[in-house]
Amino acid sequence: LAKTTQPISMDSYEGQEVNITCSHNNIATNDYITWYQQFPSQGPRFIIQGYKTKVTNEVASLFIPADRKSSTLSLPRVSLSDTAVYYCLVGGPHLYNFNKFYFGSGTKLNVKP
Amino acid sequence: DAGVTQSPTHLIKTRGQHVTLRCSPISGHKSVSWYQQVLGQGPQFIFQYYEKEERGRGNFPDRFSARQFPNYSSELNVNALLLGDSALYLCASSFERLNTEAFFGQGTRLTVV
C-alpha cells in the first residue's frame, strides 16, 4: 500500500492561495489520488480526485506530475471556513481494493483573518 | 436527499461490554465502509461491505465484526470493549464497489470507561 507524507500543519491568511503537497513515492499504477477535508467531529468530505496531470473543480485544483510520486492540492482564496484537516489518500477503485482508503495523519490548515 | 446517517451519535460504554453501531447509506448506494478515528489521527479502515458481503478488512482484532443488510444498511459490532476502543466511528457509502468517491456520515462518538 502506498504511504503518503504530508506536512503536519500549515498557516495561511484569508484570501491567499494555499498549496498542500503530498508525497507518495510508491504509488501503484492503478492508484488514484484523492483529497478529503475534515472539520472537527464531522466525517471527511470529498474534495477532489485525480490520476495524472491536472484536475479542477469548483473548490480546488489537483496537480499531479508525470511521475505521480507527489501531488499538490491547491485551494484558491481561502477563507476562515477552510480551517480544517486535509487528507491525501492513495488507492481507490481497483479490483482488489474494493474502494477502501488509507488515511494518513493529514495536514491541519489554519486560516487566519 | 438524506446523506449517510449513523446512530447513535454518542455512546458511553463500560469496559468488557458489547456495542452495536448502525449506518444507513445514501439511497441507492450499495457499498458501506467502516472507519475508526482516534483523537488526533486520521481514520483507520475497518471493513468494507458490498452487496451484503465483506470485501475488505483492516488490521483490527476479531472483536470487531460487521454485516450489511438487504437494504444496504450496516451494523458494526464490537465485543469485549477496551478503553482503547474509544474513538469516532465513521461510516462511508458509495454507489458501486469501485466508485471513487465515498460519502461519510457524522460518526458515532464511542467512549469506553
DSSP per-residue codes, A41-102? TS--EEEEEESSEEEE-SS-EEEE-TT-SEEEEEESS--GGG-EEEEEEEE-SSTTTTT---
> What is the average per-residue pLDDT within B88-110?
85
Is the minimum CB–CB distance between B90 and chain A shorter than 8 Å?
Answer: yes
Map out the domains of chain A with their CATH numbers.
9-112 (2.60.40.10)
pLDDT at A95: 47
Name the phi and psi angles at B97, rounded to 5: -65, -25
Closest alpha carbon within chain B to A47: B101
**C-alpha cell belonging to residue A87:** 487528507
Which amino acid is present at A11? D
Distance CA A35, CA A46 (A): 6
Domain B5-112 in CATH 1.20.120.1200? The answer is no
| B40-98 per-position pLDDT tens digit | 899 998 998 988 889 888 899 999 999 999 999 999 999 999 999 999 999 999 876 55
User: Is B25's pLDDT higher than 80?
Assistant: yes
B95 inside 8 A of chain A by CB: no
By C-alpha distance, the chain B residue nearest A50 is B100
State the first-to-last Cα distance of chain A, in angstroms, to the nearest integer.
39
Is residue B43 within 8 angstroms of chain A, CB to CB? yes
Contact B13, B81 (CB under 8 A): yes
Nearest CA in chain B to A44: B104
The three three-digit cell numbers of residue A5, written as one number: 507524507
Contacts of A16 (CB under 8 A, 6+ apart): A77, A78
A contact test, residue of B39, B44, B95, B101 with most A CBs within 10 A: B101
Partners of residue A22 in chain B, C-beta under 8 Å: none
Lowest pLDDT segment from A21-25, A29-33, B71-75: A29-33
What confidence tens digit (pLDDT) does each residue in A34-52 have?
899 999 889 999 999 999 9
Geometric angle at alpha carbon A105, from A63 and A86, rounded to 5°: 45
Judged by CB atoms closer than 8 Å, whether chains meet at A43 and B94 is answered as no
Residues of A with a Cβ under 8 Å from any B Cβ are 32, 34, 41-46, 49, 85, 87, 92-95, 97-106
Chain-chain contact of A98 with B50 (C-beta, under 8 angstroms): yes
Residue B107 contacts A where some CB pair is shorter than 8 Å: yes
